[in-house]
Amino acid sequence: MNGDWRADRIGAALRGENPTVLRRLESGFAVIGDVQFLPGYSVLLVDDPRAGRLSDLPKGKRLSFLADMDRLGEAVERACRRLDPAFRRVNLEILGNTDPFLHAHVWPRFAWEPADLVGRPVWLYPPDRWTDERFRLGPRHDGLRAAIGSELDRLRSPAPGDPAA
């Protein structure tokens, strides 16, 4: 993957150049994480690069972002539960301590994780998990990408007047 899009993840998504985008959602973009040491790790990127925190958005857009975070979380949960019987749960986090733009992390958690880490925040994993090529997003994750994308499609908000509404 070309590294140029990483410098402007939201702009690249808006231009259709971010290769991690799974789906366009109401408030932003569902993307699969650059690292996959916990397979299914995904991120919701807001579609306004000026928004640095949830409170930067008008109330309606805030609620859309939180609804999209819920949708992505459920999609990851459904896909991971189907693909790995050791799936336990999903952790949802809005942190914003490193990247200056609003985003939410969706971390699947598994029973096979090391005992000293399984009940702790993902950020306590050793640094090599974030940099080791074994965990980099690549073609071997295409099935996982497709599974999460399909679940996002199933969970789409019904249009007004839709019988499912």
CATH code of the domain covering residue 23 = 3.30.428.10
Q: Mind listing the pLDDT tens digit for each residue in 39-94?
A: 999 999 999 999 999 999 999 999 999 999 999 999 999 999 999 999 999 999 99
Mean pLDDT of the chain: 93
Residue 78 in domain = yes
113: in domain: yes
Quick check: is 31 in a domain? Answer: yes
Confidence of residue 1 (pLDDT cuts 50, 70, 90): very low
Could you list the residue range(s) of the whole structural domain that residue 69 is in?
A: 4-154
Give the full edge-to-edge strand order of the sheet including 42-46.
21-24, 28-32, 42-46, 103-110, 87-93
* pLDDT, tens only, 125-150: 999 999 999 999 999 999 999 999 99
**SS3 breakdown of the chain: % helix, strand, coil, rounded to 5?**
40, 20, 40
Quote the number of domains for the chain: 1
The count of other CB atoms within 10 Å of the CB of residue 131 is 10
HSE value, Cβ hemisphere, 13 Å, CA-based, for 18: 25
